[in-house]
Structure 1
Amino acid sequence: MMSLDVHSPHAVSRLRTARLARSTRPFLARGGPHGERCSGCRLILSHCLCDLRPVVPTRAGFCLLMAEHETLKPSNTGWLIADMVQDTIAFGWARTETDPALLALLADPQWQPYVVFPGEFVAPERVITQLLPAPPMLSSDTDNTLTLAVGDTIKPKRPLFILLDATWSEARKIFKKSPYLLPFPVLSLEPEQVSRYQLRRSRREDHLCTSEVAALCLDLAGEALAAQTLEAYLDVFTGHYLCAKQQWKIDREDAAHQRLRDLMAQARTT
């Protein structure tokens, strides 16, 4: 189990800070006296859950392409992924420009990128429903020749799940207008469950929130403990958020909290 300062800003937090710095007027989230919210979990101070932030080591990583206002929404669940998965990188999406760091990430040989998007909207030859057998990653010398030293082992590439963190209409726009995503397979998930996300409404029952999608990706990657922990973390976050909205007290001994604590304890022993 790796150690991590739960109060340190992660990728989505840094992106939010940069977005606020560009704002011409202050952003005031509703809730709490004078709108005071915890900078670590975005909840009002009385309902903070920073002490319940799980950290589970994973081989998988996430690349979040976030719509303009997503980082400002306290209900955004991409934040929860960055809370838990250390290798989460977040970029604000813009149609007219692309962050060079994003292109560098997609070209990094340690990763096998997957664009996570419904297959019904994609050319069939690009669509997969399971992870590909990843080609091995070899080291590169300065003259660009690939070598393998005696005794070295070849490690498979790590899955990098590209999630379009946006409303459905925004996500379709991002997918269509991001040509740098074209070289990569489209991972079409086939969830058996209906979304349990209660903080925003979708017109379609098969639409999952970003955190639910990430949990399915982790499960496909063989990261069952991480998938279950992210699901439990979302349940606890949702409970805290809704209780804060109604000004109800938190029951930290309920089934959702206990399940998350049990999974966190399991992660610490692995």
Structure 2
Amino acid sequence: MHFILLTHSRELSKQTATGPLVKQALENQCDIIEWSRTIPDSRLTTELDTSKTLLIYPDTHSPELVIKDTKALIEFDTFIILDGTWQEAKKMYNRSPYLHSLAHYQLEVNYLSSYQLRRNQKSIGLCTAEVAIELLKQKSELAQASKLEDLYNKFNSGIKVEEKTN
């Protein structure tokens, strides 16, 4: 299982960003790619196996590309999460035609986000770390979900999470 966090540039400097927690917990199973409107990263346009990649995004212009059954997640091993505010994610999606042809998956959960460090713009929205935790659980990667959830809960409660140094 591999995560690609397609990250808006504004997220990279925010102390409240949860994308780095995902990278810290999953190390080699996560890449953070800064989104560019004009020059898309080749890892997203030419190197990606689109048949095994799922974009986690609630909206699509092509309903036939929407995956609704969690059992279908078994077919995918790469998950792209748009990492930014809801407005930024929408802009990133709309201005990145290469994302439009990917299969989409909208997480449907029966709980509200616990994220406290920033006001969520949508009541149903989850932060990046919560999305990754939920996907790990849905793919039965419970040890990794637990590791990330522990980091996230400490971070969210204001406990400084130390990054590993190589």
Counterpart in the other structure of 1:175: 93
Determine if contact 2:61/2:100 at 8 Å carries over to the other structure. Answer: no
- Give CA deviations for 1:44-91 in whole Å, capped at 9, x if unaligned: xxxxxxxxxxxxxxxx11001111121111111000010011221111
Distance 1:133 1:100 in 2: 25
SS of equivalent to 2:157: helix
- Give CA deviations for 1:78-122 in whole Å, capped at 9, x if unaligned: 0001001122111111111112233344138xx711000114x54
Residue 27 of structure 2 is aligned to residue 69 of structure 1: no
1:192 to 110, 125, 132: 110
Across the aligned residues of Structure 1 and Structure 2, the Cα RMSD in angstroms comes to: 2.0
Determine if contact 2:4/2:80 at 8 Å carries over to the other structure. Answer: yes
Q: How many residues align?
A: 157
Alignment of 1:1-270 (within 5 A): 60-85=1-26, 86-107=28-49, 112-119=52-59, 121-129=60-68, 130=70, 131-132=72-73, 134=75, 159-241=77-159
Determine if contact 1:64/1:164 at 8 Å carries over to the other structure. Answer: yes
TM-score, structure 2 as length reference? 0.85
Distance 2:47 2:140 in 1: 23
Determine if contact 1:91/1:102 at 8 Å carries over to the other structure. Answer: no
Name stretches of at least 5 consecutive residues in structure 1 with no aligned partner: 1-59, 135-157, 245-270
Name stretches of at least 5 consecutive residues in structure 2 with no aligned partner: 161-166
Letter in 2 for 1:90: I
Determine if contact 1:215/1:231 at 8 Å carries over to the other structure. Answer: yes
Letter in 2 for 1:191: V
Distance 2:25 2:12 in 1: 17
Dislocated runs of 4+, deviation >3 Å: none
Letter in 1 for 2:41: D
Q: 1:229: how far off?
A: 2.4
Distance 2:85 2:23 in 1: 19
Determine if contact 2:86/2:121 at 8 Å carries over to the other structure. Answer: no
- Give CA deviations for 1:139-198 in whole Å, capped at 9, x if unaligned: xxxxxxxxxxxxxxxxxxx61110000110010011112111223210111011100000
- Give CA deviations for 1:220-256 in whole Å, capped at 9, x if unaligned: 2121222232122101112235xx7xxxxxxxxxxxx
SS of equivalent to 1:190: coil
Distance 1:101 1:114 in 2: 14
TM-score, structure 1 as length reference? 0.54
Counterpart in the other structure of 2:163: none
Structure showing greater Rg = 1
Q: Structure 1 residues 235, 133: closer, same or farther in 2, change over 3 A?
A: closer
